[in-house]
């Protein structure tokens, strides 16, 4: 059975490499499981980032290279594999993909939280929440080591570009917030809890829950935008707070779910953490924050890969 799983992983990984070259969607298998991460192709291009509202300006021109983005937010089913690390032994001696060469034992694992972090809202098929940006990046490193393909968090520019999906309206479906119920879980319809991923309509590029359900980590330090046109912008974090979170959540009003809306992390997200020092893995009071992964078409060097995974926590 184990041999069959490894062979299946090799086949899917080969298909994933082909998909990367041809711009097709693919399913990334995880050795030792029947779970996959569904990846959608995001074409490279330019867009207008930001809006005149609040801290979302100045509006400026941004270009990004092509990448793949997770169709769904990472669920507890997947995140718990990273937490337990029981399937690490099922990774082939040589990972199926060829983009990453990394010893799985070298990847740090998340500490066990002192409370159940789904807070009774659901696990199987539901988005994982409460992790720090550091923990989300470590999941990406672990996924990369397991598969041999390079995964990371999206930059803030990549996230907004993928959310807008070629549109220039408040939301990926237009400007009418009354249509939001068809595409998003917000404070208006969520019953104060996150919902299973993929139960609302996707945006034009096939991505679900970019508006609402849970907000999502990006790689960037939260900082004012520049007026200048930029190519693949990324503000590398130099301090723990604030970091950039996008998309809004099941707790937010429609205005906070707009494609350009921004949120910044804060120390208050750890208020109930009793540890001294506070955990670098968990935000006990951020039951509304999760993440999704991306895979760039242009694989960065091994040194650059590590820089994406090992941000200051």
Residue 38 has a pLDDT of 98
pLDDT band at 310 (very low <50, low <70, confident <90, very high): confident
pLDDT of residue 14: 40
What percentage of the chain has pLDDT greater than the value 90?
85
Dist CA 97 CA 148 (whole Å): 4
Q: What's the pLDDT at 9?
A: 41
**Angle made by CA atoms 229, 231, 236, in degrees to the nearest 5:** 105
Place of tokens 């508006």: 211
pLDDT mean over 228-256: 97
Per the model's pLDDT, the better-predicted residue between 169 and 311 turns out to be 169
Tens of pLDDT, residue by residue over 29-68, are 999 999 999 999 999 999 999 999 878 999 999 999 999 9
Of 34-43, 59-68, 233-242, 303-312, the poorest mean pLDDT is in 303-312
How much is the pLDDT for 19? 52
Residues 142 and 140: their CA atoms lie apart, in Å, by 5
pLDDT score, position 160: 98
Instruction: Give the whole-angstrom CA distance, residue 292 versus residue 210.
Output: 10
Instruction: Report whether pLDDT(245) > 90.
Output: yes
More confident call, 293 vs 55: 293
Q: Under 8 Å CB-to-CB from 276, ≥6 apart: which residues? A: none
Nearest-Å Rg of the Cα atoms of the chain is 18
Q: Whole-prediction pTM value?
A: 0.92
> C-alpha 140: how far from its chain's center?
9
Mean pLDDT of the chain: 92
pLDDT digit string, tens, across residues 16-26 = 444 545 579 99
Query: Long-range contacts made by residues 191-196, C-beta under 8 angstroms, separation at least 24?
Result: 192/250, 192/251, 193/121, 193/122, 193/250, 194/121, 194/122, 194/126, 194/127, 194/129, 194/249, 194/250, 194/287, 194/288, 195/126, 195/250, 196/122, 196/125, 196/126
Instruction: Give per-residue pLDDT as tens, 120-156.
Output: 999 999 999 999 999 999 999 999 999 999 999 999 9
Q: List the one residue out of 144, 160, 165 whose CA is nearest residue 233.
A: 160
- Reduced to 3 states (helix: H, G, I; strand: E, B; else coil), residue 239 is coil
Contact between 38 and 70 under an 8 Å Cβ cutoff? The reply is: yes
Dihedrals phi, psi of 54, to nearest 5 degrees: 45, -125
Residue 259 has pLDDT above 80, yes or no: yes
* Mean per-residue pLDDT, 67-82: 98
């Amino acid at each position: 059975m184990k041999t069959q799983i490894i062979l299946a992983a090799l086949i899917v990984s080969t298909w994933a490499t082909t998909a990367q070259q041809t711009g097709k969607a693919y399913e990334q298998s995880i050795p030792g499981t029947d779970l996959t991460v569904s990846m959608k192709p995001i074409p490279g291009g330019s867009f207008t980032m930001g809006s005149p509202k609040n801290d979302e300006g100045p509006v400026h021109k941004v270009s990004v290279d092509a990448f793949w983005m997770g169709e769904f937010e990472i669920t507890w089913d997947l995140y718990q594999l990273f937490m337990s690390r029981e399937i690490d032994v099922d990774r082939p001696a040589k990972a199926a993909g060829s983009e990453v060469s990394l010893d799985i034992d070298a990847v740090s694992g998340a500490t066990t939280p002192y409370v159940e972090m789904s807070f009774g809202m659901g696990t199987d098929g539901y988005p994982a929440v409460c992790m720090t940006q550091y923990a989300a990046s470590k999941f990406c490193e672990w996924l990369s080591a397991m598969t041999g393909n390079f995964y990371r968090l999206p930059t803030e520019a990549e996230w907004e570009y993928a959310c807008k999906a070629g549109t220039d309206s408040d939301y990926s479906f237009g400007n009418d917030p009354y249509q939001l119920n068809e595409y998003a879980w917000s404070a208006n319809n969520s019953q104060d809890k996150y919902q299973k991923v993929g139960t609302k309509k996707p945006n034009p590029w096939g991505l679900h829950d970019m508006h609402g359900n849970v907000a999502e980590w990006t790689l960037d330090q939260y900082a004012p935008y520049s007026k200048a046109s930029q190519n693949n912008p990324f503000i590398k974090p130099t301090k723990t707070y604030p970091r950039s979170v996008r998309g809004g959540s099941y707790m937010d009003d429609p205005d906070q779910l707009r494609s350009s809306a921004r949120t910044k992390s804060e120390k208050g997200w750890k208020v109930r953490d009793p540890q001294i020092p506070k955990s670098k893995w968990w935000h006990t009071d951020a039951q509304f924050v999760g993440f999704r992964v991306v895979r760039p078409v242009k694989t960065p060097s091994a040194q650059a890969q590590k820089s994406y995974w090992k941000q200051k926590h």
